[in-house]
């Protein structure tokens, strides 16, 4: 079977402005919160991608009216005014969208009906056990239809009361966000306490901030300890603007640090809810010039880039971009506390180590870290992308190597950023 490829030739520089598509993490949370809310919500800057399409299809099967307006950059969601009720069994196909599978599994456990959640084969390799354990503490009836601890799931939804819940927060912040979004809709007050080392904590804070925008409060007692009053109801804010995707911003900002710039990304800045805005701080630590504005970030090359030792547990998606950026930096780089990479669309730690070695880099792959030493001269490589959008996008930075790069299956970017390569190459065409 032939593999579609994209060859990116050597680009000496880049510059320009990029308007980012909406954040996948925010878009799918916003769709669900709007569906649960009282009233109609208009969601602006909606991301058009596979993952958000899976969420929209699922919500429509659950009876939610979603109307696309203004060339699909905005959608109008008629809220359900609470949890769902379905008289007939419903099967929801969620592809490989963790931002749909995890929160829907929680919400449907507290709804009324018989629900089956399915997905692509890779979804059946992505663990959900800690979240299901937490739901079962509340009395939820969830059955694994395949391997224990993994989708697909059968959920016999019923009213849940809440109470005291413990949840392992060391594998995915999506488990935490999913449980938090459910708790205010239950009849009793709840206390959620996380165990283990909390991964991607900024995404939990993002969820809490979004819940507040929809009229619901979560009290943070301490790190990893939350109190949620039961009997609350989500209320439509009328219009909710979806920030640009901060993880997607990383590719353009890194390109500027390598290729000179300046490049400005619009849609994410100092006021962003997303923790991945801190990616630019890592670039600054490596030697790039970074300027923050409220809704934009500008990067240009400063001094020569240098490697370093970075704990990037809080920004695991954007951290992948650092792994390719450091091929253009002096010295070795260690990226640590990133076990979470192994639980994503593919085992990203192993995939990244494998593909980086093709460029001539020396790579050490640990259980939760990767150490990268760039070669004296990068070699041309044909990069396998493992049906993982972020693998394709972060390796596009090798266009700044004289040998260029070939990317396999560039269309895998449709998951979150269908027009990525056209936009990326437009910055290169504008280079002087």
DSSP category for residue 88: S
Q: Is 159 left (phi over 0), alpha (psi -120 to 50) or beta?
A: beta
Query: Which residues form the catalytic set?
Result: 317
In the numeric block, which tokens belong to residue 49? Answer: 């991608």
pLDDT score of 432: 47
59 alpha carbon, distance to own chain's centre? 20
Q: Which of 359, 411, 408, 412 is nearest to 381 (CA)?
A: 359
What pLDDT score was predicted for residue 268? 94
- Within 8 A by CB and 6+ apart from 35, the residues are 59, 62, 64, 66, 77, 79, 80
What per-residue confidence (pLDDT) applies to 27?
97
Query: pLDDT tens string for the chain (432 positions)?
Result: 456 999 999 999 999 999 999 999 999 999 999 999 999 999 999 998 899 999 999 999 999 999 998 776 899 999 999 999 999 999 999 999 999 999 999 999 999 999 999 999 999 999 999 999 999 999 999 999 999 999 999 999 999 989 999 999 999 999 999 999 999 999 999 999 999 999 999 999 999 999 999 999 999 988 899 999 999 999 999 999 999 999 999 999 999 999 999 999 999 999 999 999 999 999 999 999 999 999 999 999 998 999 999 999 999 999 999 999 999 999 999 999 999 899 888 999 999 999 999 999 999 999 999 999 999 999 999 999 999 999 999 999 999 999 999 999 999 998 889 899 999 999 997 554
Residue 315: strand, helix, or coil: coil
What is the C-alpha separation between 98 and 30, in angstroms, rounded? 15
Tell me the two tokens of residue 429.
């065409």
- Nearest-Å Rg of the Cα atoms of the chain is 21
Nearest to 128 by CA among 97, 159, 84: 97
Q: Are 55 and 22 in contact (CB under 8 A)?
A: no
List of residues 6+ apart from 299 with CB closer than 8 A = 253, 256, 257, 261, 262, 263, 280, 283, 288, 289, 290, 291
Identify the pLDDT of residue 2. 52
pLDDT at 227: 98
Q: Which of 9, 10, 101, 11 is nearest to 55 (CA)?
A: 101
Annotated binding-site members for phosphoenolpyruvate:
24, 98, 126, 174, 348, 390, 415
Q: Which residues are annotated as a binding site for 3-phosphoshikimate?
A: 24-25, 29, 172-174, 200, 317, 340, 344
Q: Which domains does the chain have, with CATH numbers?
A: 5-21+243-429 (3.65.10.10), 24-224 (3.65.10.10)
Q: Output the pLDDT for position 72.
A: 67
User: Which residues, listed in sequence order, are joined to residue 335 by a DSSP beta bridge?
Assistant: 310, 370
Contact between 13 and 429 (Cβ < 8 Å) = no
Tallying the residues shown for the chain, one arrives at 432
Q: How many CA atoms lie within 13 A of 78 on its CB side?
A: 7
**Distance of alpha carbon 48 from alpha carbon 111, whole angstroms:** 27
Enumerate the known binding-site residues.
24-25, 29, 98, 126, 172-174, 200, 317, 340, 344, 348, 390, 415
In angstroms, the Cα distances linking 244 to 241, 267, 296 are: 9, 4, 9
Structure tokens at 357: 């070695």
CA atoms of 156 and 158, how far apart (whole Å): 7
CA distance 240 to 259: 35
Which element (helix H / strand E) includes 192? strand 190-195
CB-CB contact of 116 with 153 (8 Å):
yes
pTM for the full model? 0.89
Place of tokens 């990304």: 265
């Amino acid at each position: 079977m032939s593999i579609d490829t994209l060859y990116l030739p050597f680009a000496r520089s880049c510059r320009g402005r990029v308007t980012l598509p909406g954040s996948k993490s925010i878009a799918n949370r916003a769709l669900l919160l709007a569906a649960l809310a009282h009233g109609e919500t208009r969601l602006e800057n909606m991301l058009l991608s596979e993952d958000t399409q899976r969420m929209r299809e699922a919500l429509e099967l659950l009876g939610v009216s979603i109307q696309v307006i203004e060339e699909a950059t905005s959608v109008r969601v008629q809220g359900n005014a609470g949890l769902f009720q379905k008289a007939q069994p419903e099967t929801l196909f969620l592809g490989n969208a963790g931002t749909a599978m995890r929160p829907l599994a929680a919400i449907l456990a507290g709804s009324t009906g018989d629900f089956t959640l399915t997905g692509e084969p890779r979804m059946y390799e992505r663990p959900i056990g800690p979240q299901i354990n937490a739901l079962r503490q509340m009395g939820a009836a969830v059955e694994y239809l395949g391997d224990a601890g993994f989708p697909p799931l059968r959920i016999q939804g019923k009213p849940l009361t809440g109470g005291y819940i413990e949840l392992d927060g060391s594998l995915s912040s999506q488990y935490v966000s999913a449980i938090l979004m459910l708790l205010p809709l239950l009849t009793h007050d709840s206390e959620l306490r996380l165990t283990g080392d909390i991964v991607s904590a900024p995404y939990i804070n993002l969820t809490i901030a979004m819940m507040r925008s929809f009229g619901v409060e979560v009290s943070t007692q301490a790190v990893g300890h939350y109190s949620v009053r039961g009997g609350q109801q989500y209320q439509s804010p009328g219009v909710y603007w979806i920030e640009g995707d901060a993880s997607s911003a990383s590719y353009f900002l890194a390109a500027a640090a390598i290729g000179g710039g300046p490049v400005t990304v619009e849609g994410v800045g100092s006021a962003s809810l997303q923790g991945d805005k801190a990616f630019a701080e890592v670039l600054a630590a490596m030697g790039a010039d970074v300027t923050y504005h409220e809704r934009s970030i500008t990067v240009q090359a400063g001094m020569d880039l240098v490697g370093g030792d970075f704990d990037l547990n809080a920004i695991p998606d954007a951290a992948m971009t650092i792994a390719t950026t450091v091929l253009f930096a002096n010295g070795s780089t260690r990226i640590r506390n990133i076990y979470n990479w192994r639980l994503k669309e593919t085992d990203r730690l192993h995939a990244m180590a494998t593909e980086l070695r093709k460029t001539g880099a020396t790579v050490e792959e640990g259980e939760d870290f990767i150490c990268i030493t760039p070669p004296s001269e990068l070699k041309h490589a044909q990069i396998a992308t493992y049906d993982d959008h972020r693998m394709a996008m972060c390796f596009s930075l090798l266009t700044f190597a004289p040998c260029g790069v070939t990317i396999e299956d560039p269309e895998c970017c449709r998951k979150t950023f269908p027009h990525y390569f056209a936009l990326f190459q437009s910055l290169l065409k504008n280079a002087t």
